[in-house]
Structures are given as structure tokens and as C-alpha cells.
Structure 1
Amino acid sequence: MKLVCISGGAGAAEALASLRRAGIAFAELFEADALISSSARGAKARGKRLAWRAAGAGAEGIFCVGEAGLQAGLFALRFFRKTPVPVLAVYAGAQGKSARLCGFDALLFLCGEDRTAALRHGADPYRMFPAGEAAAALNAAARRKWAGAEPKGIVVCGSYGLGNLGDEAMLASILSELRRTAPDRRITVVSRNPEETRLAHCVDAVHSFALPALAARLRRARLFISGGGTLLTDLTSTRSLRYYLLTIRMAHRLGARVLLYGCGIGPITGEQNRRGTAAVLNRSADIVAVRDGASLALLAELGVTKPELIRSRDAAFSLRAEDMRAEASPAVRKKLAAAGKYAVYAVRPWSGDEAFAPELAAAAERLWRERGLTPVFLPMEPPRDLPLSRRIAEAVRAPSVLLDGPMTFEDAFAAVGGAALVVSMRLHALIAASIARVPFVGVSYDVKISSFMKDSGSPACVDYYGATADGLCAAAEYTLREKDRAFAPPAGSENADAVRKLLEG
């Protein structure tokens, strides 16, 4: 493919270097620096000439880099809009709002800060790619241009935008899998904080309770994903259960295929809730992929027989080991460096904390004395977990670290990936430890923890209600001795296979 580049102005040199590292080679390079010092009329004339030169060079793909390069690219767009030639731009934050970012067939960003700035300035998440994936972006832009109309998209609904780092990690995992499986489908996430979700995950988003907006997206969707996590339960509230059942019914009625993705089911205790759940799943779901045997058993007990039922894995297992090597923010990195060799403790408030908290504090203190593991307390859902984490940290008679500042799921990955041990009530901290091959102890307050530990093949599971310092330390010693063993559920691609089946069927 013959590629040309229109380059000039702020950010051009850095962008060109990034493209070369990504394996992009240009047949011709046109300089656009003169646009910067020109009058508006002169810039327009020079921009048109550059676009004509690119067209005359027989370009099959055009990259616009730097502030002046993007300005010229806006003129190139007019010439190539009705042709199969893709026009791509590389965005650097210094370019500000000067370019109309939505018009380009693909927009590449050099770093996370540039991605966020571009999104704030109106960029379309569907057309955005990291600069390191320039070749994939070029192919996608060309493919989409040839196809013409956008294919029907995908809507993902779950407990997102609420500040739970485990749920955000799970969403990142689902999006990563969908982008590999269906790269040309527009993805929309249903979130309690759509703007935060859009910026954090580079994806379209609508508010959970903006039902007309959700309905509009569902009419243009091929697939509706409910999950991951445990959404269908009345343990949280009956209202929450009914909301997620409503979205499943809406999706089915508006023509989307429905997949429950790597989810947990239950507990569902209310008789009316049990009947309602079975009725909605039997009428509206196409495939229900559950992450544990207990959920599969409950579906059978409820009488769910119409959708295809499959055993899969938690959505977070789509994360890869390299994701665990994400770089933490400077504040978190500083705290972890000060801890030295450390153990991560991820707790959540539950009904037996008066008895549990002092036992965990005593275990953390003993592991510091005997193993030299500084306790690092990681609130996976800060608004909920932080008070208990602080209380236990203050009770430990040893140096400790409390990660109490603003955090992203990348910070959580970094904390888990750098630990010598993870002791957790939070499922996604355990999954992250499993992926990163870090020894872990599960504290089971719910069937999802005991099911995960059983599926992973690890006996290092302590019952929350009967937890003692001796029991926690014994489990920790076992998993530290067996640190070279890989404890994880069997590998599988059931979730991705279900997505393909419903998109292609």
C-alpha cells in the first residue's frame, strides 16, 4: 500500500518517530509547516495544494501529523471523502481544539493523556487507536471505508461507572476481547457515569437510567451483553435485579441478540424474583455463559431451559499478563516503593467484621514479622472498602501502607502484580493475582470466592466467618511455598466464542 504523510508543526517529529516504530513507511512526505505562519486565506490555498499533491502521488493511505499536518488533512478529507483512500491523523495534546477531529477515518494517539484530550475535544472513540497499532488502524480505516455503512453495534450493560476498580478492570477486559473479536463494531457501554467511562475506556457510553437513549442504541445493535459480574441477584436489592432484567427484555424486544457474559447468578431468594428471572431469561436470552458451577446449578433450579447455557470463566480472565505490568500513577508508585517487599490485602465490609478485622490485622502483623511482608491495603471499591481498610491498617502493629488516594484499575493491577502475596475478599484482586502468577489467599464471604478458589485448584481459601490469624497465616504459608504452581481455572474461550456465534449467526 502506497502511503504518504502530510507533516508539520507541533508534535510532528514525535508522531513520525512513533509511526516508524510501528512499522509504517512512507513513499512520500509533504511538509505543511508553511500553514502555521500563513493568513487564513493563504493557509487554505496551501492546504488545498498539499491535498492535490497527495492525490497526485497516487496515495492509498494518508497520515496527517503535527498541528499543520492536521490542518492540511482537513482539506485532504474533502478530496478523499468519497474514495476508498483512508485519511488518518496522529493527535498530540499541544494541537488543542484546532482540528475538527471527527472527520478523520482514524485518529491515533501517542499516550493516555493525548487520548483523553482528544476525547474531550470531540474525537469519536470508534475511530481511535494507539499509535503503536498504526498498521491495524490503517487496515480498519480502509476496511470500514470500503464497507460504507457502519455495521450494527454492541451494547454492554453492567455495574460500571460506580468507582469499583474490579468492575472497571472487568469492563476493560470485555472491551479488549470485543475489539479483538469484532473490531468493526461500535461499542456502547451503559454506565452510571458515562463521561468517566468514555474517557477511561475510550468507548461510547450512555447513562444507566437514560432509557430513551439506551433504546436508541439498542435499535442499532446486533448484540446486547449483560455482564460481567453478578448482576442477577437480589442480595444487593430487588430493584437492582429488576433493572438488569428490564435491560435484557428491552434488548430482546428491540431486535438485539442477548448474551449474559461470564456472569454469576444469585443468590435470588424472593419467590417472585426467582420466577421473574426464569421468565425473562427463557423469553429473552440467547446464551447464558456463567463463570461458576453454582450459577449453573441455580439456573437449573430456577427452570431456565430456553437459552443455551454454557460454563465459561469470569470476564476478567480476558486480561493478559502484560496488563498486570501496567504502570501505576506516580503517587501509587511512590507508596509501593516505600513498602519494599509487600503483601496486598483487599477487604470489603461484611456482616462479621467485628470478629474478622482483628484476626486479619494479627495475621498481617505476623506475616510482616516472619516473612518481611509490609501490609499494603488496596480498597478495590474505595467508597465502600476504605473505612474497613483504614481500620485494619491502624490496628496492625507494623509499618503499613494504605492506598487511600484516587486510583484507577491500572493502579490496582500494578499493586497486585508487584506483590509477593495477595489476601483478598475481592474476586477481581484474586483473578488479577492468578493472571500475574502472584500467590493468593481467598477469604470467602460469598459462593463466588469459594467457587473461584475451587476452580483454580488452590486450597488456600479461608471462610470469612471462621477466619483466625492462625488459619490465614497457614493459608498464606501454603500458597507461598507453592508459588511456582499456576493456580487458575482451566483456560477457555467460551465468552469470545459466544460473541462470535451471536454476531455471525
Structure 2
Amino acid sequence: MKKLTLWGYYGFGNVGDEALLDVCLSLMKDAKVDLLCGPAPSVRASEKLSIVPRSPENLYKSIRSSDGFVLGAGGLIHERAKPLGTYYHLLGPFISKYSRKPYCAIGQQIGPFQRNLTKMLAKKALERARFITVRDNASQVEASFLGLNTTLSADLAFLLNPEDPSVEVKKAIESMPKPRIIFAPASYMEETPSPEFCAKVLGKIISLTGGSLIIIPFFPGKDDEFGEKAESLLPPEKVLRLKSPVDWRDAFGAFNLCDFSVPMRLHSVIASSLACIPALPMPYFQKVRSISSEIGYNTMIEKDDPSWEQKCLSFLSSSQNICQQTALLAKDMRNRAKVTAKLMEDFIGDLERTA
């Protein structure tokens, strides 16, 4: 059985990335895996899975002793303010390239970029990859500008089949009156709508529906602070706020118990579509806007949006149509994500045949 090195942003408590990790490992079930991981792994070591502390030295050692390398799914190859995270993630492809190890990149977001240096490094790191799958159209366009050949897939979270959350979380959510609105905040840079503005929007939806609000953090720390601030501005009897750490299964499963969603983070948008509930995204970044549109969530509230009240009314009045459209589009995205699954199967098969 061949051994692969898996490298990405895993083991840091980010709900979306831990969900992607689960999918990545399922695609590598026919190989042994070295998982380079942060301090809070959501998986356990086993006979086929080794959890290796994340560091450049350990990455180098793992790649040298592996048969192939996988740059795991997520938003790894882009930059907004600081490019250091991108450079760090490109270490894996660079080491693989110069060690002459077969490598690939799956379910990637590529771009946007601000610096020519970052573009050059991304091109040099990925130009010898056996294959690259990207999760959206914008990433494929950015990659083409770099001269990289990519295959359009989808975010690998579309391959998930979320079940209901744990008994404790389910009981807490079901104690809240219906209809339930689920809100996943995102505290990120200046593009993010403020907690005060979000509270106005959420308060309006609660008032119009007579329902309750579930606040769930997808990233520990700042998302908790953001959620706590929004909660303080809303009627306490109408709000249940879950606190980090939240297992990704509980986070995705919580959407199955709710009726409406106001997502800010990308994977809370995807969780809404998997639960087939209408969502009113409040995006903080272009990737959230683009994928929201691709799955039928076309009404969005931007930072300090002057027409936010009208959009709330429009969203609620068209919620049934949104569900029907999203169910079809999410199925299409799932089929797109299966492209990556097939390429990974072939990648591992090729390694076995060259033994």
C-alpha cells in the first residue's frame, strides 16, 4: 500500500477545513497517509493514518519518505493582506517537485493575488502537478492567467452527507421555537459586516418570522466574540449561541434542524445548501459571493447595505423557490466534486502500478 503526504490547513479548529479533511481522507482510503496537522486534530491516528506535527522540517521528511503528495482542499493559494500563509502552503508542492515525487492539488481556490511574486511562486510550485482541481470558475480563470492547466471541480464539502448533530447539540437546538434561523458569523478584515449591522438584520428576520436564532461559530476565537456581540443586541429568550470548539459534524448537522440560514463563512453557505434550506448570505469576501450565486443564493446583504430591509422581505417571500433551485444546483456541485474523487482514485492507482 502506497503512502501519501497530506498538507493543508488542518488541526486548527476551523469547521470548514476539518470537514474538508474528512472528505480528503475518504478519497485516500486506499493509501496510507501522513497528515501534517496543527495542534487540534479532529481525527485520530490509526494503522493507515499518521498524525504528524505541522512544520517545514516534518513536511520535508514526510514527503521524502512518501510515494506521493497531496495539497489538500481549501482556500490555500491566494492572498489578501499577508502572503506568508500562501508561501507556507506552497512549500509542499515545491518540495515534491524538486524531490521528483508525484503530486497533485485538489479542491483548490486559486487567487486572487496582489503580488507578482506570489503569482510566480504559485506557477512554479504547481506547474509539474499531475493534476489540479479547482473549486470555482474564478479560480480556473486565475490559474489560466498563470499558465496552469486545471480541472473545474467544486468545493469538496459538497461530497458530505451531514447527519443530525450530537444528542447534546440536537437537544439544545430543538429546545428553541421554530422557525429556527441559523447564523454563522465571520470576523474577518474590514469587508465584514459589523455585529451591530448583523444584529439588525437578524432581529428583523426574527420579528418577521416569530422564530428563534441559533448562532454557531465556524472558526474559534474571533467568530465567538462576533457572535457574543450580536447576541447581546438581540432578545435573549430568542437566541441560542453555541461556543467553540464545535465539531464539524455538529456544525453541519445543526443546519438540518433549522429553517432559514444567514451565513457569512463559505462553508456555512455550503452547509445551508446540503440541508436544503433558504439562505441569505452576508458575504465578507468574493469567494463567498461567487459560490453563493452558483448554488442559487442570489439575494445577499452586503456590509451596511441600504436595502437590507427590502432584501429580508424578498428573501422570506421567495424562500420556497430558493429551496427548489438550491436542491438542483447543489446536486450539480456534488457531481462536479466527484471529478476530484475520480482523479484521486486514478492518482493512487497509478502509484500502485509503478511499484
Same fold (TM over 0.5): yes
Match of 1:228 in 2: 73
Match of 1:168 in 2: 18
Deviation at 1:360, TM superposition (A): 2.1
The CA distance in 1 between the partners of 2:218 and 2:270, in whole Å, is 13
The CA distance in 2 between the partners of 1:358 and 1:194, in whole Å, is 31
Deviation at 1:352, TM superposition (A): 4.4
Counterpart residue identity of residue 363, structure 1:
V
Query: 2:142 matched to 1:304?
Result: no
Counterpart residue identity of residue 150, structure 2:
L
The CA distance in 2 between the partners of 1:353 and 1:277, in whole Å, is 25
Query: 2:97 matched to 1:252?
Result: yes
**1:20-419 equivalences in 2 (<5 Å):** 151-179=1-29, 183=30, 185-193=31-39, 197-198=43-44, 203-209=49-55, 211=57, 213-235=58-80, 237-282=82-127, 284-301=128-145, 303-305=146-148, 308-320=149-161, 324-330=162-168, 332-341=169-178, 342-352=180-190, 356-397=194-235, 399-419=238-258
Deviation at 1:452, TM superposition (A): 0.6
The CA distance in 1 between the partners of 2:32 and 2:52, in whole Å, is 13
C-alpha contact (below 8 Å) 1:162/1:192 kept by paired residues: yes
C-alpha contact (below 8 Å) 2:15/2:248 kept by paired residues: yes
Query: 2:289 matched to 1:450?
Result: yes
Q: Deviations over 1:139-159 (max 9, x none)?
A: xxxxxxxxxxxx222222111
Match of 1:427 in 2: 266
The CA distance in 1 between the partners of 2:277 and 2:268, in whole Å, is 11
C-alpha contact (below 8 Å) 1:153/1:186 kept by paired residues: yes
C-alpha contact (below 8 Å) 1:460/1:478 kept by paired residues: no
The CA distance in 2 between the partners of 1:265 and 1:460, in whole Å, is 25
Deviation at 1:173, TM superposition (A): 1.8
The CA distance in 1 between the partners of 2:294 and 2:228, in whole Å, is 31
C-alpha contact (below 8 Å) 2:191/2:303 kept by paired residues: no
The CA distance in 2 between the partners of 1:382 and 1:475, in whole Å, is 32
Bigger-Rg structure (1/2): 1
The CA distance in 1 between the partners of 2:192 and 2:108, in whole Å, is 31
Counterpart residue identity of residue 200, structure 2:
A
CA RMSD of aligned residues (A): 2.5
Q: Deviations over 1:145-178 (max 9, x none)?
A: xxxxxx2222221111111111111111222233
Normalised TM-score (structure 2): 0.87
Counterpart residue identity of residue 176, structure 1:
S
Q: Which ranges of structure 2 fall in alignment gaps of 5 or more residues? A: 351-355
| Distance change >3 Å, CA 405–CA 242, structure 1 → 2 | closer
Deviation at 1:335, TM superposition (A): 2.3
Q: Which has the higher contact order (CA 8 A, sep 6+)?
A: 2
Indicate the percent of aligned positions where both proteins have the same amino acid: 21
The CA distance in 2 between the partners of 1:466 and 1:431, in whole Å, is 23
Q: Deviations over 1:424-467 (max 9, x none)?
A: 11111111221221222222221211111222133233334537
Deviation at 1:188, TM superposition (A): 2.0
Normalised TM-score (structure 1): 0.63
| Distance change >3 Å, CA 479–CA 205, structure 1 → 2 | farther
Secondary structure in structure 1 of the residue aligned to 2:72: strand
| Distance change >3 Å, CA 471–CA 222, structure 1 → 2 | farther
**Higher mean C-alpha deviation, range 186-195 or range 387-396:** 186-195
C-alpha contact (below 8 Å) 1:365/1:396 kept by paired residues: yes
The CA distance in 1 between the partners of 2:123 and 2:52, in whole Å, is 27
Counterpart residue identity of residue 199, structure 2:
A
Secondary structure in structure 1 of the residue aligned to 2:73: strand
Q: Deviations over 1:368-418 (max 9, x none)?
A: 222122111111002120111111111123621110253211110221111
The CA distance in 1 between the partners of 2:39 and 2:306, in whole Å, is 36
- How many correspondences in the alignment? 342
Secondary structure in structure 1 of the residue aligned to 2:18: helix
The CA distance in 1 between the partners of 2:226 and 2:116, in whole Å, is 34
| Distance change >3 Å, CA 314–CA 198, structure 1 → 2 | same
C-alpha contact (below 8 Å) 1:360/1:468 kept by paired residues: no
The CA distance in 2 between the partners of 1:235 and 1:415, in whole Å, is 30
Q: Which ranges of structure 1 fall in alignment gaps of 5 or more residues? A: 1-150
| Distance change >3 Å, CA 409–CA 236, structure 1 → 2 | farther
C-alpha contact (below 8 Å) 1:262/1:314 kept by paired residues: yes
Deviation at 1:472, TM superposition (A): 4.7
